[in-house]
Structures are given as structure tokens and as C-alpha cells.
């Protein structure tokens, strides 16, 4: 079965609702469902396996998008709640879950203020999702809070040094300044940063760096054009450059060069950090 509760009761956006609205709109740009299905999808299975998700588990996938983790977790027999700020992404995952008759509830929710009681879930996950919540400490607090004592937390995050982390570094000089107090998303892929965020509220922490092989692009220009039309953060940056075509051309060249430098034998290796831990 599948249940939908878009705009779930109890959702709140803290002190900066305009920031959340901008993030929601950004991830609705382009075609992130295609990026998730064509590139990111294998990471969902990685996280489900790492967290040993199985029948009887109550699982929350935070910043779930179209269900990269939620869907394979449900296929493994878990009862899953998928929470995301962007209802357009949830709707795509919901259609898949309905077609497969999977046990997934789809809730609109803010990763920094999750609308669930303390200790509600056996397993709490996020796959390249919660890392994009701008206020990292608030998001980390929520991940721990909603996990039961002894429950497992599992995260996959792009690393600062890896391909996607470098892509954001390339885009940063062309993007508007972040909101005050916000932290760069790829810091979630830095072991010291994420361990500091989780603190002494977790134990049995295990971290490992690995690479997602990506063989979709013939050259850096093909990568750039794919992200310019499908990936919300990249589209948003280019929109700010609409009146400065010379800067847009600079960014075009920089992203194509980044892609070319990371292609080897027709394959890119996108580094990510896999973290699992138990709540004390």
C-alpha cells in the first residue's frame, strides 16, 4: 500500500520560511527524477544494505526525493515513510510505489523540523538529500531525535573532494550568497564535520568512502548540458546569470572542463561518504 500526506500537519519552517520556499522551488526545477533514476538510483540499495533494512522495520527516509532509498527499503519488506520538502518529487515516487503496491507513506516535511515524535523509527536514512538542508546542525539533531534508542542512522553524502563537491565549488562564484548561517552541502561528506554534527548521541559509527561509477556522458560538455537542463541547483545558478551571458559562458567552460578532467575511459567516479551509526 502507499499513503500520501502532502503538506503534512505539523510541518514548520523555523525562522526562515523564505529559505525553505526557495529550496523547494529549486528542487522542482528541471528533471531531478531523471537524475535520480538514471544516475543516483544505485546508492539507494547501498544504503538499504548498509543499514540491514528488512521486514518489520519502521524506516524514515529524510529528503527522500523520488524514493531513492524509500523504494528499495520497501521492497526489502520495511514499512517506510518518505519525507521531502518538494511535493513534485514525492509525487513521482508515489506513482512508483502504487504501481508496485509498496508500503510507503509520502509526507511533505522539512528535514530541519521533522513532523514526527521522538524515537519513531527503527532506521533513519538520507541519500544525498539531508546534506542540502542549509542548517546542518538542526538537520542532524532531527535525524537523531526521530530514531529510537538503539536504532540505526544511515547517510550517503557527496564528499567535498569528489566530483559533485567540486562541481559545487565551480558554481559557487556564480551563485547568490547563501543565507546567513548556512553551511555548504558537501561538508556532510567530510568525516570530521558529520561526526561533530552527530556528536555523542550516536555510537557504533562506521564510515567509508566509495565511488559511484557514472558512464552516461561522452565528454564534459555532455555532462554540463545534462545538468543545465535537469539538476535544480545548476539550473538555479544559470538563471541568476541570464543578464550576464559572458559569465554564463565562463561557467559553461568551467563545468565542461571539470567533466573532461573526471572522465576516464568513458566513466566518471563520483565519490561519496557512507556513514552508519546507532542512536545511543
Tell me the whole-structure pTM to 2 decimals: 0.94
Q: Scanning the structure block, which residue is given the C-alpha cell 509526507?
A: 107
Q: Which CATH class is domain 2-213+271-279?
A: alpha beta
φ/ψ of residue 216, rounded to 5: -85, -15
- Give dist(CA 81, CA 64) in Å, integer: 9
Q: pLDDT tens, position by position, for the chain (280 residues)?
A: 454 443 333 333 344 688 999 999 999 999 999 999 999 999 999 999 999 999 999 999 999 999 999 999 999 999 999 999 999 999 999 999 999 999 999 999 999 999 999 999 999 999 999 999 999 999 999 999 999 999 999 999 999 999 999 999 999 999 999 999 999 999 999 999 999 999 999 999 999 999 999 999 999 999 999 999 999 999 999 999 999 999 999 999 999 999 999 999 999 999 999 999 999 9
Q: Check residue 17 and give its pLDDT.
A: 85
- Give dist(CA 121, CA 196) in Å, integer: 22
DSSP code at position 119:
T
Query: Do 233 and 255 meet the contact criterion of CB atoms below 8 Å apart?
Result: no
- Give dist(CA 151, CA 14) in Å, integer: 26
Ordered by start, the domain boundaries in the chain are: 2-213+271-279
In 3D space, the residue among 44, 36, 40, 93 whose CA is nearest the CA of residue 72 turns out to be 44
Query: Do 70 and 100 meet the contact criterion of CB atoms below 8 Å apart?
Result: no
Q: Check residue 81 and give its pLDDT.
A: 98
Amino acid at each position: 500500500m502507499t499513503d500520501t500526506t502532502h503538506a503534512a500537519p505539523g510541518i514548520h519552517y523555523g525562522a526562515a520560511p523564505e529559505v525553505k520556499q526557495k529550496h523547494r522551488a529549486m528542487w522542482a526545477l528541471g528533471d531531478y527524477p531523471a537524475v535520480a533514476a538514471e544516475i543516483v538510483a544505485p546508492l539507494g540499495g547501498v544504503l538499504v544494505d548498509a543499514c540491514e533494512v528488512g521486514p518489520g522495520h519502521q524506516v524514515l527516509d529524510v529528503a527522500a526525493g523520488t524514493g531513492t532509498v524509500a523504494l528499495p527499503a520497501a521492497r526489502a519488506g520495511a514499512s517506510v515513510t518518505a519525507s521531502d520538502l518538494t511535493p513534485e518529487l514525492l509525487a513521482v515516487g508515489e506513482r512508483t510505489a502504487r504501481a508496485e503496491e509498496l508500503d510507503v507513506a509520502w509526507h511533505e516535511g522539512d528535514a530541519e523540523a521533522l513532523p514526527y515524535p521522538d524515537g519513531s523509527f527503527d532506521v533513519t536514512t538520507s541519500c544525498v538529500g539531508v546534506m542540502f538542508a542549509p542548517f546542518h546542525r538542526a538537520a542532524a539533531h532531527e535525524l537523531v531525535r526521530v530514531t529510537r534508542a538503539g536504532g540505526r542512522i544511515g547517510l550517503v553524502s557527496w564528499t567535498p573532494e569528489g566530483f559533485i563537491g567540486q562541481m559545487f565549488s565551480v558554481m559557487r562564484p556564480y551563485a547568490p550568497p547563501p543565507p546567513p548561517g548556512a553551511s555548504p552541502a558537501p561538508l556532510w561528506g567530510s568525516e570530521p564535520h558529520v561526526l561533530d554534527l552527530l556528536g555523542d548521541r550516536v555510537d557504533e559509527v562506521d564510515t567509508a568512502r566509495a565511488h559511484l561509477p557514472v558512464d552516461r556522458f561522452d565528454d564534459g560538455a555532455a555532462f554540463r548540458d545534462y545538468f543545465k537542463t535537469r539538476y535544480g541547483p545548476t539550473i538555479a545558478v544559470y538563471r541568476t546569470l541570464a543578464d550576464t551571458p559572458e559569465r554564463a559562458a565562463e561557467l559553461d567552460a568551467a563545468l565542461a572542463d571539470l567533466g573532461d578532467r573526471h572522465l576516464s575511459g568513458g566513466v566518471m567516479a563520483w565519490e561519496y561518504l557512507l556513514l552508519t551509526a546507532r542512536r545511543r
